[in-house]
Amino acid sequence: MAIDAPGRVAYVNARLLDPASGLDAMGGLLTEGEHIVHLAPGLFADGAPVGARVVDCGGACLAPGLVDMRTQLREPGQEHKESFKSAGRAAAAGGVTSMVGLPNTNPVIDDEAAVEFVARRARLIGLAKVFTTAAATKGLEGQELAEIGLLREAGALAFTDGIKAIADAQVMRRLLDYAASHDLLVIQHPEEPTLATGVMNSGEMATRLGLRGIPREAEIIMLERDMRLVGMTGARYHAAHVSTADGVDIIRKAKAAGLRVTCDTAPFYFALNELEVGDYRTFAKLSPPLRGEADRQAVVEGLADGTIDVIASDHCPQDADTKRLPYNLAAFGGIGLETLLPVTLRLVQHGHLSLLGALDLVTRAPADLLGLEAGRLRTGVPADLVIFDPDAPWKVVADTMRSKSKNSPFDGHLVQGKVIRTVVDGRAVFPEGTA
Amino acid sequence: MTDAAFPHRHLLGIQGLTPPEIQHLLDLADGHVDQCRGADKASDGMAGRTVINLFFENSTRTRTSFELAAKRQGAEVINMQVSTSSVAKGETLIDTAVTLNAMHPDVLVVRHPESGAVKLLAEKVNCAVVNGGDGSHEHPTQALLDALTIRRRKGRLDGLRVAICGDVLHSRVARSNIHLLTTMGTQVRLIGPRTLVPASCAAMGVEVFTNMREGLTDCDIVMMLRLQTERMTGNFIPSVREYFRFYGLDRDKLSRARPDALIMHPGPMNRGVEIDSDVADDFERSVIREQVEMGVAVRMAVLRLLAGNLDQTRRNQPFVGAGGA
């Protein structure tokens, strides 16, 4: 037996958590090279195998690395805000081992060369794995279909116009029809653009602050329209960052009616509400906007009852130049890679979800939705792991974030849940400097 | 004498024809093939008759085919190419019909860019009308010539498996072929993206495939359609490049069909868009030129049959004036 086989790492004394199989037990896990080769409750209780490097988890949780299906990586084109490398470091610190970029880069990811660029660049960096969605329409202009069949073959996981809605109903209908022909997933930013001309949620707060509102109906109308088009075409449709009670309910009913519909939300929308805007805090300027408390609670309810399939960070780096402005003029968006895990764990801490249930939303569920070989603890799969203490408290301090941009809406918040180690393909990528 | 086996005044479409009626047309057409191949192609079966080719849409091959079919049987032929761009179509159509009708033609061959226009015209005249293609509706002589080509090659129509591939949504050829082939007991598959092959096609008694390799599996006939970019408004496909990748007929996709599968195309072909030249020009598999040849024979049979039927019926028809609706 090759006792000295290089690259064997034994994770001992771990609380193994695998949402896919329901495993939650103390045990150990062995990796060899890039893959998981063994895991079991009670494994290595009598000592680690000879020759393997030992990582003592000290009773902490060991789970599949997080899969973040909605991030803006800003490369190529806006590397002053974020790059594959800086986002990769932020992801690693957040326990995210796979992240999926949006196509709203410069140039737009709407041809095969751009998809291949992302794959090649990201591979060279070797931090969290980078995947990409591609444009649904050429140049994200909402007019002509992008070559989504060829883009899929090049490796794009799904098709979306990023932070813009596919607004034209005929274009959306043809897109869904065409996507259904090739069984491709269409991701919508569900917001009617002609209504969403404001800068924060419509309502009393916007009125008091003298800011233009974005009505909840912008989301509701687009989702209702889209459900009709999905019913007509039979396509696979995913609504990004659902933020309203009615939006959650529309998805709930569509699922009950048998439509092939899924949705996600971001931590902002179940952990924060419009009060965060406070005294014109531009870090709380998000798209869709933070809503009222009733909507926040409905999003939590949607997560608890399974209507919302996935939690994605909706990581949107904006530099100081675009955020340090009067609220009305500041850019939309907040970063979220490093806070995805602890804010998701808040759902467990508040009793809305079990630990496995919450982890499922950031591991197995997004991986399955996008067809990624990730999000599971299983022998033979790539060793993408996160070791974390679910209870350890810390304070989010924007300036210490690893993202190039520091625009965290959670700046100053106290959270619980700390990443101890992140492993990608068997290699530790966090903490920095770990072998 | 009205032909008891085909007692109709017009040929406006395949839909509604019975299997014996279709067989009869094909039998008659088959009889004209040798005539066309001989050195002396002339006969006098339509001597003294007048055929007007009334084309509201550009056409070279179909008009030529009808013209030859009439002339080889001794008929007088007038070709009228009518521009449709600048006039109110409905009014012009009926005015034109009534005017021509007053000149007592025997057969009007009509092509029009609007679905249903040929039927509308047929209601205003008391000669015979042949639909030479109306919009995205029907093109009956194309379906008949396709069927004749298949029948002569394979010896039958029933029990065969035919794949019709591509732009079904805009294709009158596809509709006429679907009606004819399903009527004759042929299994029909439609292959294309859902933007061009609507799911509702399944109601016409066909199987619908979005994956061309799956759809072509074990087919006896691969019938390609022209991508009708001129009829497309908006986004049906992302690009010609992507279309060819997934729905263009090439050797690789064709290998899924039966080894003796025939390749058909109504023409004109967009090489490199819906069909690879390598496949289109394969003389063992491609019967595209033979389709053109059968076209003349089919049109000879149709023109002569309808002109013959007219003897009995026309004298009894009241003249339809300009005011008749």
Euclidean distance between CA atoms A75 and B254, whole angstroms: 42
Q: Would an 8 Å CB–CB cutoff place B237 in contact with chain A? A: yes
- Residues in B closer than 8 angstroms to A178, CB to CB, are 193-195, 235-238
- Residues 240-279, chain B, touching A (beta carbon < 8 A): 241-242, 245-246
For residue B242, give how far its alpha carbon lies from the nearest alpha carbon of chain A (Å). 6
For residue A219, give how far its alpha carbon lies from the nearest alpha carbon of chain B (Å). 25
pLDDT in tens, B62-109: 999 999 999 999 999 999 888 754 455 566 788 888 888 999 999 999
Residues B233 and B108 in one domain: no
Q: Does B242 contact A149 at a Cβ distance shorter than 8 Å?
A: yes
Active site residues of A: 314
Q: Which residues contact B230 (CB under 8 A, 6 or more apart)?
A: none
Residues B14 and B32 in one domain: yes
Domains with residue ranges and CATH for chain A? 8-62+384-430 (2.30.40.10), 63-370 (3.20.20.140)
Three-state SS at B54: strand
The two structure tokens encoding residue B300: 């000879």
Task: Count chain A–chain B contacts defined by CB atoms under 8 A.
Answer: 52
Residues B206 and B244 in one domain: yes
Residues B241 and B215 in one domain: yes
Across the interface, of B193, B235, B242, the residue whose CB is closest to A171 is: B235
Q: Does B195 contact A149 at a Cβ distance shorter than 8 Å?
A: no
ipTM above 0.90, yes or no: no
Q: Is residue B319 part of a domain?
A: no
Residues B135 and B155 in one domain: no
Q: Is residue B185 part of a domain?
A: yes
The range of the structural domain enclosing residue B308 comes to 10-139+292-314
Q: Would an 8 Å CB–CB cutoff place A167 in contact with chain B? A: no
Beta strand spans in A302-384 (E): 310-311
Q: Would an 8 Å CB–CB cutoff place B194 in contact with chain A? A: yes
- Residues 147-166, chain A, touching B (beta carbon < 8 A): 147-150
Euclidean distance between CA atoms B146 and A9, whole angstroms: 68
For residue B162, give how far its alpha carbon lies from the nearest alpha carbon of chain A (Å). 20
Euclidean distance between CA atoms B195 and B64, whole angstroms: 33
Euclidean distance between CA atoms B71 and B91, whole angstroms: 31
Whether the predicted pLDDT of B226 surpasses 50:
yes
Strands B161-165 and B221-224: parallel
Give the pLDDT score at B312. 56
Q: Is residue B51 part of a domain?
A: yes
Q: Is residue B272 part of a domain?
A: yes
Residues B123 and B156 in one domain: no
Nearest to B25 by CA among B13, B37, B35: B13
The two structure tokens encoding residue B282: 């394969």
| Amino acid found at A260 | R
Euclidean distance between CA atoms A293 and A274, whole angstroms: 8
Residues B82 and B210 in one domain: no
Q: Would an 8 Å CB–CB cutoff place A141 in contact with chain B? A: no
Give the pLDDT score at B95. 85
pLDDT of chain A along its 435 residues, tens only? 444 445 899 999 999 999 999 999 999 999 999 999 999 999 988 888 888 999 999 999 999 999 999 999 999 999 999 999 999 999 999 999 999 999 999 999 999 999 999 989 888 888 999 999 999 999 999 999 999 999 999 999 999 999 999 999 999 999 999 999 999 999 999 999 999 999 999 999 999 999 999 999 999 999 999 999 999 999 999 999 999 999 999 999 999 999 999 999 999 999 999 999 999 999 999 999 999 999 999 999 999 999 999 999 999 999 999 999 999 999 999 999 999 999 999 999 999 999 999 999 999 999 999 999 999 999 999 999 999 999 999 999 999 999 999 999 999 999 999 999 999 999 999 998 765
- Residues in A closer than 8 angstroms to B236, CB to CB, are 174, 178
Residues B166 and B60 in one domain: no
Give the pLDDT score at B310. 87
Give the pLDDT score at B89. 58
Residues B242 and B135 in one domain: no
| Amino acid found at A424 | V
pLDDT in tens, B22-34: 999 999 999 999 9
Nearest to A110 by CA among A84, A132, A139: A139
Whether the predicted pLDDT of B20 surpasses 60:
yes
Euclidean distance between CA atoms A119 and A129, whole angstroms: 9
The two structure tokens encoding residue A113: 């060369």
CB atoms near residue B116 (< 10 Å):
13
Residues B50 and B83 in one domain: yes
Length in residues, chain B: 325
Between B155-164, B170-179, B226-235, the lowest mean confidence (pLDDT) is in B226-235
Three-state SS at A386: strand
Residue B289 labeled ligand binder = no
β partners of residue B318: none
Residue B156 labeled ligand binder = no
The two structure tokens encoding residue A432: 């920095």
Q: Is residue B5 part of a domain?
A: no
**First-residue to last-residue Cα distance in chain A:** 25
For residue B203, give how far its alpha carbon lies from the nearest alpha carbon of chain A (Å). 16
pTM of the model: 0.91
The two structure tokens encoding residue B160: 């065969």
Give the pLDDT score at A6. 52
Residues B77 and B175 in one domain: no
Q: Does A181 contact B238 at a Cβ distance shorter than 8 Å?
A: no
Q: For the residues B250-279, what does the mean pLDDT come to?
A: 93
Q: For the residues B261-288, what does the mean pLDDT come to?
A: 92
* Domain CATH for B184: 3.40.50.1370
Q: Is residue B325 part of a domain?
A: no
Euclidean distance between CA atoms A84 and A412, whole angstroms: 26
Euclidean distance between CA atoms A139 and A295, whole angstroms: 33
Residues B308 and B270 in one domain: no
Helices (H), B17-116: 19-37, 61-71, 89-101
What DSSP line would sit under B214-249, residue for residue?
Answer: HHHTT-SEEEE----GGG--S-SSS-HHHHHHHHSB
Domain count, chain B: 2
Q: Does B235 contact A148 at a Cβ distance shorter than 8 Å?
A: no
Q: Does B242 contact A144 at a Cβ distance shorter than 8 Å?
A: no
Please name the residue that has the structure tokens 């408290």.
Answer: A393
Residue B61 labeled ligand binder = yes
In angstroms, the Cα distances linking B33 to A405, B141, B184, B278 are 78, 15, 22, 28
Q: Is residue B109 part of a domain?
A: yes
CB atoms near residue A255 (< 10 Å):
16
Q: Select the more confidently predicted residue: B39 or A110.
A: A110
Q: Is residue B4 part of a domain?
A: no
